[in-house]
Amino acid sequence: MNNRLLQGCCLSAFVVGSFGCKTAPEEEKAEKPNIIYIMTDDHANRALSCYGGDLIETPNLDRLAEEGMRFNHSFVTNSISAPSRATLLTGQYSHKNGVIDNAKEFDGSQMTFPKLLRDAGYQTAMIGKWHLKSEPTGFDYWKVLPGQGSYYNPDFIEMGERMRDTGYVTDLITDEVINWIDQAKGKEKPFCVLYHHKAPHRAWWPGPDHLNTFDDKQFPEPETLFDDYEDRKAAEAALMEIDSNMYLSSDLKVKPEHVKQSGMYPDTDNPERFQAYQGSLDRMTEQQKEAWNEAYADRQQEFLEFDDRTGNDFVRWKYQQYMEDYLRCIAGVDDNVGRLLDYLEENDMKENTIIVYTSDQGFYLGEHGWFDKRFMYEESLRMPLLVRYPKEVEAGSVNEDIVLNLDFAPTFLDYAGVEKPEQMQGRSLRPVLKGETPPNWRESMYYHYYEYPAWHATKRHYGIRTDRYKLIHFYYDIDEWEFYDLEEDPNELNNEIDNPKYEETIKMLKKRMEDLREKFGDSEELSQKYIEQWIESGHTESQF
Ligand code: SGN
Ligand code: CA
């Protein structure tokens, strides 16, 4: 037995409260790293400069990439919020942890990594967007947004008690995280905090510090802004187009009276949306509102003066406003992550703290003409993933392995010296982070999305992705297969499912996908069961 293994044994012996070789608490603290897991909501890779995006500079997130590892093939297994969060906690696919869609409640009695870390002597906290309906379990401290939360002066639930804080959500969540770490750092035990932002989730309301950021910027348009969805029936049926599914009021911040004045009401907006817009404004203090109205005055003018609000130029204008707001929210995240990084440096905590930066899934920034996520196409499948841990991760390294949100739980347990429970379906990234990817690392990933009919009308589908190919099956009220050669067609515009050239590859992928379904315990029967449950609970229509 080598030294590391021996150490591991001692640690787990101590952890389970056994006898034999006990480690002193101070020693244990020195050995076990602190863990800070940062997750934003809907942050697309293209909106980080370290991923080569040309939309925004993110100097603080880039610091993590420069001082740690950047992953280029980090994927979500079900591209939507609550399922992604349940997978993070359990290390299991949605059909195993039960949260297959945003409507499901997380069963908090399940095994989760925070519970296991706590048992292993960690102090644990969960701060920010939770979105799992049931109360958080496994945390010494939690303070979460109810549901999706609000951007301005948000309500929080702190250990069961509801309150309203004054300020901007990204700043407030960061304050709480720094405060919690500040008291946790003096204790004997290492800590793990889940630091979950609401930003940059729809409806993209930027904070007071960034109301005028990008005022003069013209954002480059994605090549596929005017996609015609040829040979892609599910894409065609989706309701997430900037053109026809983005609201002037609540999404684009055009005042309801101006929408009415333009003659575009009631065709393109509705009273609920007006209310949503007004509701967000009503949360603001007088001072916040004044700053907001001043910053958004120009947009009202531009809108009212727009010549033809029916053509492609108007879609382009909407895209520009969308990018302004979305990226302003990201700028707020970047500042706040910077604040946390500075705090860690000032407090000598950089070396012994693992920091992970990721998002609950990716997002469309105009690709295919869209906003939102859900599809297994690249922009929403991919998540940013940056990991800094100076002790084991080479600064400035870049990784191309396929890694999944299933892997976080096993990774954190590995660092804490806790054995991975059998039911966890991911793998520890620790060797990958060390630059020693095991030879039997996964060569493909399995995906399954369920929430339909529902928001944005994204049909149910499952699929497989390798480093080069992607095969997707859309089912339920459709039976469509899609196949993409990502090397030839990175924008996924050419569905090659009927191209004889790929016949063998497609056959091989179908087989591999069946193997993965079996390995992970997914099946047709389960898909059917979930459809029945969904319809029974009254979800029969889609909205946007
Ligand atoms: C809200 C949004 C949707 C979004 C879902 C899920 N509508 O319902 O656009 O797809 O959240 O997002 S909104 O008008 O209320 O903003 S998720 O990230 O939480 O899954
Ligand atoms: Ca999300």
Q: What does the pLDDT look like over 215-270, one tens digit per residue?
A: 999 999 999 999 999 999 999 999 999 999 999 999 999 999 999 999 999 888 99
Is 452:476 a contact under the CB 8 Å cutoff? Answer: yes
Distance 81 CA to ligand 1 centre (A): 9
User: Per the structure block, which two tokens stand in for 528?
Assistant: 């059917």
Q: What does the pLDDT look like over 339-382, one tens digit per residue?
A: 999 999 999 999 999 999 999 999 999 999 999 999 999 999 99
Give the ligand whose atoms come closest to the C-alpha of residue 272: 1
Q: In whole angstroms, how far apart are CA 373 and each of 51, 68, 360? A: 19, 27, 10
User: Following DSSP, what letter does each residue of 289-319 receive, concatenated?
Assistant: HHHHHHHTHHHHHHHHH-S-TTSHHHHHHHH
The pLDDT of 410-425, averaged and rounded, is 98
Distance 476 CA to ligand 1 centre (A): 22
Identify the three-state secondary structure at position 496.
Answer: coil
Q: Per-residue pLDDT for 13 more than 60?
A: no
Q: Write the residue with the smallest CA distance to atom 8 of ligand 1.
A: 455
Give the ligand whose atoms come closest to the C-alpha of residue 44: 2
Per-residue model confidence (pLDDT) at position 268: 86
Q: What does the pLDDT look like over 446-483, one tens digit per residue?
A: 999 999 999 999 999 999 999 999 999 999 999 999 99
Q: Per-residue pLDDT for 17 more than 80?
A: no
**Which ligand 1 atom is nearest residue 273's CA?**
14
Q: In whole angstroms, how far apart are CA 72 and each of 45, 139, 383, 403, 406? A: 9, 31, 9, 9, 16
Q: Is the CB of 374 under 6 A from ligand 1?
A: no
Q: Per-residue pLDDT for 318 more than 60?
A: yes
Query: Is the peptide bond preceding residue 146 cis, with omega within 30 degrees of 0?
Result: no
Q: Per-residue pLDDT for 6 more than 80?
A: no
Distance 307 CA to ligand 2 centre (A): 35
Distance 202 CA to ligand 1 centre (A): 6
Distance 370 CA to ligand 2 centre (A): 15
Its pTM surpasses 0.85: yes
Q: Per-residue pLDDT for 40 more than 80?
A: yes
Q: What does the pLDDT look like over 128-179, one tens digit per residue?
A: 999 999 999 999 999 999 999 999 999 999 999 999 999 999 999 999 999 9
What percent of the residues of the chain are helix, what percent strand, and what percent coil, each to the nearest 5?
40, 15, 45
**Which ligand 1 atom is nearest residue 371's CA?**
9
The pLDDT of 515-532, averaged and rounded, is 98
Q: pLDDT grade, residue 23 (50/70/90)?
A: very low
Q: What percent of the chain has pLDDT over 70?
A: 94
Q: Is the CB of 455 under 6 A from ligand 1?
A: yes
Q: pLDDT grade, residue 422 (50/70/90)?
A: very high
Distance 260 CA to ligand 1 centre (A): 25
**Which ligand 1 atom is nearest residue 361's CA?**
18
Q: Is the CB of 39 under 6 A from ligand 1?
A: no
Q: Is the CB of 42 under 6 A from ligand 1?
A: yes
Q: Is the CB of 456 under 6 A from ligand 1?
A: yes
